């Protein structure tokens, strides 16, 4: 799946990044909504600090840490207590005291643990336990009987082999009926069959093993599970068939089998039904074993009215008229075993264009009036399909591949096998659209096509390793888009992944997942962008150009049709390694612990010492255990570096493997400076010390070209991050930025503007004077930008960032040019077009005037280009008029004029402005229940909403309010990781302001 609010749709302008921040805790955590049902078998007794500590300890072979930390949390059943306080950088003495303390606690808890007759549960040692400590506590079914299964994950005693699905959707009444026939094979002797079903009203159930007969189905709604209890035990090796008839409503949210609609060009409302099953919603359309490891084949039949068409994963084989006047379409049985989350079907009146590529018929579907926007997608998908067929050395296994633009769709796109669904914005693009807009479409197609192998053919066993799907697809997305467009978006994406991973609320790439909210939360920048970043680092480290690719091919061939975990990937890559590089050893340190290292350089003549530590932004003294654990965090870092002797080409790269706390390398004494992390392909931040930074700044001041633009951007990113960490002063940051007056390339400029913009927005919310420093440094560069068509993607990126900042700071020339372009566009009656990369700045300027805002709203309702429409919406939402802000928020929730899929974007845009950020916060609090009805708790959309609404706060009063609101939510979202992230961010903002505001006031 492609989540939607990535850097991509932020497009090139510099709006929208949170100030990376701080540190959790003091949140009182209610128990997760799913209660602990098996005594002694905690669902997930450890809190995150423990996990982090555990993974660090495991790396060091310190198994004793596990028990002590697991214990600590088990004695505090219903509050995830704040870890003990400590200094952020403990001295050696503190460390010794900490160790002693922990050893004592560990010993005492072990003694307690082994006291006879006492079983520790999440609720502590509450009563003596005379029975087995693992006796399950079964929940009650809806009919009052005991439900025979007490775990979140399904039992492994039977596995589905084939599903025969018949679906009868009724688009008038928004309901459907269905019949699911599941053929299963018994793996272990059992008397129960447990599977998933959510919001389905099961009307009849029959079961056949030998003889066929009716059975009773028990349902436990909390876990969305149903169970069939058999009177006789089935034996391993037997096969059996369960048939379930059911009825349900089409979902009015964005998951399951849901209804969507659009207004056609005659102004009529057209309804359709589509599916979105990843991660946990196939169970809302048919009863199934809804976990990725239960792969099976599917035969699907759907009935429709004659003026509609249906689509599914496989080609249609026949259409049969039904007695009730409807038509039933039947699709070929899937030729491959498939996870349930990849099943898809659509009933709509879309029109296709098609083309044969190798053995596959590729088609792009859209609503009829947007057919002329599908050419680019068809062409791109065809080229990419050929590219992947040869890149992976495995041909795409299905006979057809459909790409469908759905009018109302929450994710960016979804990789259903053979039937990829998209937002209209991520698939449809006009011939005259700008290269930047085409790049977005191409990259999303590249992402979803990569999934047809990485994810669909080889699938993660469980959601804890979601990154195997998403990290890889994200990596391929950026690699192909760099090849086709030479854009440099991946660099900025890696910077943002670092910013998020620097927080204590972050998590390991592979992380335990034990309830639905946690599954949803895996769809975040750690799985996607950090996953992609560490793959890039590995690819750069492996010697030989094709070695990474060979390892990937080996992995895909070895596990084709199967499920895997992270170690399987590393093992495949190790196997093909010519120099016997131990990929597993290196990469485990990047996937099993959260965060990333800070590498500090200290130099004495020719001797350079590199030291690593966990880069952890935390301003809170309460994080004693966290900080203690970070002392043990070690990464196996493939450090690259260049020096002033040779610094630009790949031939200049020198390597150093830093596996221990510190290491030393030798340089000629004559070397003036060194720059680590060549082109920022490694996932770490570097601190050069006062002298090192000064030397780099001097080098850049005399000649910008001594480093690649990626290296320059990485220096800028790193120094801002270090200032947030408190390792360099903001004065040093500004000092480095002095060289910017000579800068002309997009990467360093966009990164600097983005960082400054974050600070500017925080200052703005405190009604501090604008950061006119921006204009001072970038003034001439801003003035040099043109307003006509521009072909180069990197120049477009540069131009839209610079002009976006100039206009947001009310630079007169910028405002006048933007207004003139808007006027010309309005008067041309659709015959002229604003260059794609300038549309955002033009619409945003226009929206600030009363009259033009109304004009823009009218345009928004009539424009057919989706990319343009979205930029108009951001313009509309950037208004500073309070009544309009409230109107647009409400309209986004209603979903009539503004589709609800756009609400996260509306909220994030409103929050950037001074007038809107408090309204948006009130709106979220007032409408929380409706928001989580539309966007599941933990989902990417909710993560975005929380982040946008809170990242602008920097005062204690706001912190208290945010904390108060989220803790009042209890099971309605208080446990989300993004809540912790929000609190950390506000605290870090607060700390940063306290520390730097006086300096800034003096300086600026």
Starting at the edge strand found earlier in the chain, the sheet holding 269-276 runs 256-263, 269-276, 345-348, 309-312
Determine the Cα–Cα distance for residues 643 and 623; give it in Å rounded to an integer: 38
> DSSP of 84-135, one letter per residue?
PP--SS--HHHHHHHHHHHHHHHHHHHHHHTSTTB--BTTBS-SB--S-TT-
Determine the Cα–Cα distance for residues 26 and 701; give it in Å rounded to an integer: 45
Taking the complex as a whole, the smallest distance from the CB of residue 278 to Zn ion amounts, in Å, to 9
Judged by beta carbon, residue 474 or residue 800, the one nearer Zn ion is: 474
**Would you give the binding string for Zn ion spanning residues 382-401, x where CB under 5 A is met?**
--------------------
Annotation: binding site:
447, 451, 470
CB count in 10 Å sphere of residue 831 = 7
Using an 8 Å Cβ cutoff, are 841 and 818 in contact?
Answer: yes
Among 403, 473, 513, 737, binds Zn ion (CB under 5 A): 473
Taking the complex as a whole, the smallest distance from the CB of residue 393 to Zn ion amounts, in Å, to 22
- DSSP alpha helices (H): ranges in 828-939? 836-846, 850-862, 866-877, 882-894, 903-912, 917-926, 928-934
Question: Of 72-80, 238-246, 467-475, 682-690, which segment contacts Zn ion by CB under 5 A?
Answer: 467-475
Question: Alpha-carbon dihedral of residues 59, 61, 63, 69, nearest 10 degrees?
Answer: -40
Q: Which residue has tokens 């359709």?
A: 272
Determine the Cα–Cα distance for residues 803 and 999; give it in Å rounded to an integer: 27
Using an 8 Å Cβ cutoff, are 182 and 163 in contact?
Answer: yes
Judged by beta carbon, residue 473 or residue 513, the one nearer Zn ion is: 473
At 483, give phi and psi (nearest 5°).
-60, -40
Judged by beta carbon, residue 2 or residue 687, the one nearer Zn ion is: 2
Taking the complex as a whole, the smallest distance from the CB of residue 469 to Zn ion amounts, in Å, to 6
Question: Of 152-160, 348-356, 464-472, 624-632, which segment contacts Zn ion by CB under 5 A?
Answer: 464-472
Judged by beta carbon, residue 455 or residue 804, the one nearer Zn ion is: 455
Count CA within 13 A, CB hemisphere, residue 222: 18
Burial group, residue 128, by CB count within 10 angstroms (0-12, 13-18, 19+): exposed
Say which DSSP state 526 is in.
Answer: I
Taking the complex as a whole, the smallest distance from the CB of residue 532 to Zn ion amounts, in Å, to 11
Judged by beta carbon, residue 255 or residue 470, the one nearer Zn ion is: 470
1 touching Zn ion, by CB under 5 A: yes
Judged by beta carbon, residue 280 or residue 847, the one nearer Zn ion is: 280
Judged by beta carbon, residue 54 or residue 278, the one nearer Zn ion is: 278
Taking the complex as a whole, the smallest distance from the CB of residue 547 to Zn ion amounts, in Å, to 25
Question: Of 159-167, 186-194, 466-474, 693-701, which segment contacts Zn ion by CB under 5 A?
Answer: 466-474
Question: Of 267-275, 465-473, 810-818, 967-975, which segment contacts Zn ion by CB under 5 A?
Answer: 465-473
Using an 8 Å Cβ cutoff, are 279 and 520 in contact?
Answer: yes
Taking the complex as a whole, the smallest distance from the CB of residue 524 to Zn ion amounts, in Å, to 12
Annotation: binding site for Zn(2+):
447, 451, 470
Q: Is 236 helix (H, G, I), strand (E, B) or coil?
A: coil
Taking the complex as a whole, the smallest distance from the CB of residue 411 to Zn ion amounts, in Å, to 9
Interface size with Zn ion, residues (CB under 5 A): 4
Judged by beta carbon, residue 45 or residue 470, the one nearer Zn ion is: 470
Region of residue 580 (left: phi > 0; alpha: psi -120 to 50; beta: else):
left
Determine the Cα–Cα distance for residues 153 and 225; give it in Å rounded to an integer: 10
Judged by beta carbon, residue 2 or residue 874, the one nearer Zn ion is: 2
CB count in 10 Å sphere of residue 65 = 20
Q: Is 606 helix (H, G, I), strand (E, B) or coil?
A: coil
Taking the complex as a whole, the smallest distance from the CB of residue 973 to Zn ion amounts, in Å, to 24
Determine the Cα–Cα distance for residues 52 and 47; give it in Å rounded to an integer: 9
Determine the Cα–Cα distance for residues 241 and 526; give it in Å rounded to an integer: 41
Which residues in the 898-957 window bind Zn ion by CB under 5 A? none
Using an 8 Å Cβ cutoff, are 658 and 611 in contact?
Answer: no
Say which DSSP state 646 is in.
Answer: B
Closest of 956, 932, 950, 929 to residue 942, by C-alpha: 932
Catalytic residue (one of 43, 48, 437, 448): 448
484 touching Zn ion, by CB under 5 A: no
Taking the complex as a whole, the smallest distance from the CB of residue 1000 to Zn ion amounts, in Å, to 40
Q: Which residue has tokens 């509050």?
A: 79
Say which DSSP state 154 is in.
Answer: P
468 touching Zn ion, by CB under 5 A: no
CA distances from 708 to 493, 553, 712, 718, 830 (A): 18, 32, 6, 15, 42
**Can 790 be counted among the known catalytic residues?**
no
Question: Of 2-10, 562-570, 846-854, 965-973, which segment contacts Zn ion by CB under 5 A?
Answer: 2-10
Taking the complex as a whole, the smallest distance from the CB of residue 960 to Zn ion amounts, in Å, to 38
Judged by beta carbon, residue 522 or residue 586, the one nearer Zn ion is: 522
Angle CA 652–653–657, to nearest 5: 155
Q: Which residue has tokens 């090139």?
A: 12
List residues near Zn ion by CB under 5 A: 1-2, 470, 473
Q: Which residues are catalytic?
A: 448
């Amino acid at each position: 799946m492609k989540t939607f609010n990535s850097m991509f749709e932020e497009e090139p302008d510099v709006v929208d990044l949170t100030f990376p921040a701080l540190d959790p805790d003091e949140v009182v955590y209610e128990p997760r909504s799913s209660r602990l049902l098996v005594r002694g078998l905690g669902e997930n007794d450890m809190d995150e600090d423990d996990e982090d500590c555990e993974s660090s300890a495991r790396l060091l072979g310190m198994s004793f840490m596990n028990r002590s930390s697991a214990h600590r949390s088990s004695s505090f059943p219903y509050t995830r207590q704040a870890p003990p306080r400590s200094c952020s950088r403990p001295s050696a003495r503190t460390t010794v005291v900490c160790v002693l303390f922990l050893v004592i606690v560990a010993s005492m808890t072990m003694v307690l643990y082994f006291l006879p007759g006492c079983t520790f549960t999440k609720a502590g040692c509450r009563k003596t336990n005379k029975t087995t400590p693992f006796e399950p506590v079964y929940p009650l079914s809806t009919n009052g009987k005991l439900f025979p299964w007490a775990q979140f994950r399904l039992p492994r005693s039977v596995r589905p082999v084939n599903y025969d699905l018949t679906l009868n959707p009724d688009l008038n009444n928004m309901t459907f009926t269905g019949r699911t026939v599941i053929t299963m094979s018994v793996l272990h002797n059992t008397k129960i069959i447990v599977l998933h079903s959510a919001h389905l009203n099961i009307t009849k159930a029959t079961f056949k093993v030998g003889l066929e007969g009716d059975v009773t189905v028990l349902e436990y709604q909390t876990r969305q599970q149903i169970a069939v209890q058999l009177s006789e035990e089935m034996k391993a090796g037997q096969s059996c068939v369960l048939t379930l008839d059911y009825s349900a409503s089409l979902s009015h949210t964005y998951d399951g089998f849901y209804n969507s609609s659009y207004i056609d060009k005659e102004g009529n409302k057209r309804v359709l039904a589509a599916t979105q099953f990843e991660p946990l919603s196939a169970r809302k359309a048919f009863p199934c074993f809804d976990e990725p490891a239960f792969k099976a084949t599917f035969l699907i039949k759907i009935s429709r009215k004659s003026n509609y068409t249906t689509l599914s994963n496989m080609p249609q084989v026949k259409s049969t008229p039904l007695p009730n006047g409807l038509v039933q379409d039947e699709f070929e049985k899937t030729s491959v075993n498939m996870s349930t989350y990849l099943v898809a079907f659509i009933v709509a009146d879309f029109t296709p264009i098609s083309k044969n590529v190798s053995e596959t018929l590729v088609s792009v579907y859209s609503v009829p009036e947007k057919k002329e926007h599908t050419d680019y997608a068809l062409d791109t998908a065809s080229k990419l399909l050929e590219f992947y067929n040869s890149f992976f050395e495995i041909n795409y296994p299905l006979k057809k591949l459909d790409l469908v633009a759905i009018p109302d769709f929450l994710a960016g796109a979804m990789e259903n096998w053979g039937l990829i669904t998209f937002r209209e914005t991520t698939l449809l693009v006009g011939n005259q659209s700008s290269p930047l807009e085409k790049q977005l479409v191409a990259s999303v197609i590249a992402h979803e096509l990569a999934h047809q192998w990485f994810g669909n053919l080889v699938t993660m066993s469980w959601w804890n390793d979601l990154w195997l799907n998403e990290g890889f697809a994200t990596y391929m997305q950026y690699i192909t888009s760099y090849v086709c467009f030479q854009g440099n978006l991946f660099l900025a994406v890696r910077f943002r992944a670092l910013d998020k991973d620097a927080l204590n609320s972050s998590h390991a790439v592979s992380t335990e997942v034990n309830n639905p909210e946690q599954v949803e939360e895996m769809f975040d920048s750690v799985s996607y962008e950090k996953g992609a970043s560490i793959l890039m680092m590995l690819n750069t480290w492996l010697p030989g150009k094709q070695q990474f690719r060979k390892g990937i091919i080996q992995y895909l061939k070895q596990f084709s049709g199967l499920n895997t975990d992270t170690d399987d990937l590393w093992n495949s890559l190790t196997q093909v390694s010519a120099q016997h590089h131990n990929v597993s050893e290196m990469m485990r340190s990047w996937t099993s612990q959260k965060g990333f290292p800070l590498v500090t350089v200290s130099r004495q003549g020719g001797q350079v010492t590199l030291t690593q530590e966990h880069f952890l932004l935390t301003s809170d003294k309460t994080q004693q255990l966290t900080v203690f654990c970070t002392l043990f965090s070690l990464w196996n870092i493939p450090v690259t570096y260049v020096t002033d002797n040779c610094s630009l080409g790949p031939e200049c790269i020198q390597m150093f493997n830093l596996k221990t706390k510190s290491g030393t390398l030798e340089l000629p004494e004559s070397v003036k400076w060194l720059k680590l992390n060549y082109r920022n392909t490694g996932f770490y931040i570097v601190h050069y010390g006062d002298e090192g930074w000064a030397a780099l700044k001097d080098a850049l001041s005399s000649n910008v070209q001594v480093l690649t633009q990626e290296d320059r951007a990485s220096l800028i990113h790193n120094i801002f991050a270090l200032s947030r960490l408190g390792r360099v002063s903001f004065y040093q940051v500004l000092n480095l930025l002095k060289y910017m007056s000579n800068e002309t390339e997009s990467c360093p400029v966009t990164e600097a503007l983005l960082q400054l913009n974050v600070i500017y927005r925080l200052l703005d919310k405190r009604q501090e004077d604008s950061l006119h420093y921006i204009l001072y440094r970038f003034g001439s560069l801003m003035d040099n930008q043109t307003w006509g068509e521009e072909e180069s993607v990197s120049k477009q990126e540069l131009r839209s960032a610079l002009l976006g900042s100039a206009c947001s700071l009310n630079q007169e020339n910028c405002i006048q040019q933007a207004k003139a372009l808007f006027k010309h566009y309005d008067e041309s009656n659709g015959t002229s077009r604003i260059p794609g990369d300038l549309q955002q700045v033009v619409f945003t300027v226009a929206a600030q005037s009363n009259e033009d805002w109304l004009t823009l709203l009218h345009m928004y309702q009539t424009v057919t280009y989706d990319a343009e429409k979205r930029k108009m919406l951001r313009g509309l939402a950037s208004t500073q008029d309070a009544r309009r802000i409230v109107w647009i928020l409400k309209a986004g929730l209603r979903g009539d004029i503004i589709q609800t899929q756009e609400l996260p974007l509306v909220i994030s845009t409103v929050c950037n402005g001074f007038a809107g950020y408090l309204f948006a916060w009130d709106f979220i609090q007032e409408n929380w229940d409706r928001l989580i009805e539309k966007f599941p708790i933990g989902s990417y959309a909710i993560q975005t909403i929380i982040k946008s609404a809170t990242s602008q706060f920097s005062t204690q009063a706001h912190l208290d309010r945010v904390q108060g609101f989220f803790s009042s939510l209890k099971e309605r979202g208080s446990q989300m990781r993004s809540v912790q992230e929000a609190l950390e961010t506000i605290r870090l903002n607060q700390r940063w302001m306290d520390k730097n505001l006086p300096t800034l006031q003096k300086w600026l």
